[in-house]
Structure 1
């Protein structure tokens, strides 16, 4: 086990496969010892059918929590070896039912002693351990059902990569990035409009000199995201969240969330009570992000943008 001690828990899949291989190898010899010519992988299907009821492959797959393809393959193998027979459902000729053949039923009568001895051997093994593997597997299965290992790794990756992100105030050096990042995403989904050119061609005059703020997200010191907090001449709103853009190459690093968080913190620092934004419902990830930040849909206002079909507000 030196390899696994060196590599650690990230090799859990390989270690579980090794343990499974050992148990499966012994299981094959156990069947042989009891004079039963059955493969260990057939056991779940065999056991379900040993209860006496004919079932469809779909019903078996659901009961043993295997894929339909996997069960179908096992059934074919068992049919070829004479353990299972097929028949048409009398009430629905489109369905094929499977059940134990005479050979399978004969094996079912012989296998009871094997069940008893195997169960006792497992109980003896469990009694010699400090940790209950069966209960541990139940816990792992439950937790992975709530959130898969894939999802957990994705979250850890995002957490690690987001640690390389810094959100900094706008400087003249980021003027081109502010323009290019916004133009790129707007042109991907819509078309540039006059109001876009005003803000992107002169962010200092159109946003900063009017009391606004721009934030830039740097990933390993490269600008990959931007957002603007723009003052509004409106009795209902203090500022607008506008011109948020993230490079497609930098998505999945929580950059939108980090930019939005920095913008909201700045609005609170400035004493704002409400932030407004406009977007389009085809931008589902963006709308989801705004909801996560606390924005809620509000009644439509007159917008300077053709593409805007949803307005949202955040009450601070």
Structure 2
């Protein structure tokens, strides 16, 4: 998958992206005072093949001028009917404020809907204010059942079926 958004290229993760993608996630978490957990909640970002690809999910990176400046991913979960969880949606500061986050979320939703999946779950932390605002303004409803310790919010959205 390769999609252009303004000066950004959104593409499928490759094995050579592991370190740079992990650094984007670590950097954004640190910016908001959250811990990078390479042997816990963030292990999936270092083990993309087993955590996403082999489970039927996808992991994308966002490039700007040849450098990785963002990530976004999803994988199937047994939390609901034909459900997935969107994970690891992070953008470095230079990639924010241009509509890229909303475009990424809409692209993820379109990809998920095309696979005839019906429910999207997202966990986040209140401190990630921009993410919370994006999810709430995109029709995600507060839910219960936070599974990741650093997160204190969970959202769900049911997609309209794509025929």
> Counterpart in 2 of 1:296?
141
> Counterpart in 2 of 1:158?
none
Q: For the Cα contact (< 8 Å) 1:214–1:227, is it kept in 2?
A: yes
> Counterpart in 1 of 2:29?
186
> Counterpart in 2 of 1:263?
108
Q: For the Cα contact (< 8 Å) 1:212–1:229, is it kept in 2?
A: yes
Q: Which has the higher contact order (CA 8 A, sep 6+)?
A: 2
1:309 corresponds, among 136, 152, 156, to 152
In the TM superposition, what whole-angstrom CA distance separates every residue of 1:148-206 from its partner, at most 9, and x where no partner exists? xxxxxxxxxxxxxx511222222223222221111112233211334334212211111
- Once residues 158 and 93 of structure 2 are traced to their aligned partners in structure 1, the CA distance between those partners, rounded to angstroms, is 30
Select the structure that is richer in helix.
1
Matched, 1:195 2:48: no
In the alignment of these two chains, the number of paired residues is 153
> Counterpart in 2 of 1:284?
129
- Once residues 294 and 221 of structure 1 are traced to their aligned partners in structure 2, the CA distance between those partners, rounded to angstroms, is 33
> CA distance change for structure 1 residues 197 and 286 in 2, over 3 Å: closer, same or farther?
closer
> Counterpart in 2 of 1:239?
84
Q: TM-score, normalised by structure 1?
A: 0.45
- Once residues 64 and 53 of structure 2 are traced to their aligned partners in structure 1, the CA distance between those partners, rounded to angstroms, is 23
Give the structure with higher Rg (CA). 1
Over aligned residue pairs, what C-alpha RMSD do you find? 1.8
What SS class does the counterpart of residue 234 from structure 1 fall into?
coil
What SS class does the counterpart of residue 78 from structure 2 fall into?
strand
> CA distance change for structure 1 residues 237 and 284 in 2, over 3 Å: closer, same or farther?
farther
Matched, 1:218 2:66: no
**Ranges in structure 2 where 5+ consecutive residues have no aligned partner:** none
In the TM superposition, what whole-angstrom CA distance separates every residue of 1:22-64 from its partner, at most 9, and x where no partner exists? xxxxxxxxxxxxxxxxxxxxxxxxxxxxxxxxxxxxxxxxxxx
- Once residues 219 and 183 of structure 1 are traced to their aligned partners in structure 2, the CA distance between those partners, rounded to angstroms, is 18
- Once residues 126 and 49 of structure 2 are traced to their aligned partners in structure 1, the CA distance between those partners, rounded to angstroms, is 29
Q: For the Cα contact (< 8 Å) 2:123–2:146, is it kept in 1?
A: no
Cα shift at 1:254: 1.9
**Ranges in structure 1 where 5+ consecutive residues have no aligned partner:** 1-161
Q: For the Cα contact (< 8 Å) 2:119–2:158, is it kept in 1?
A: yes
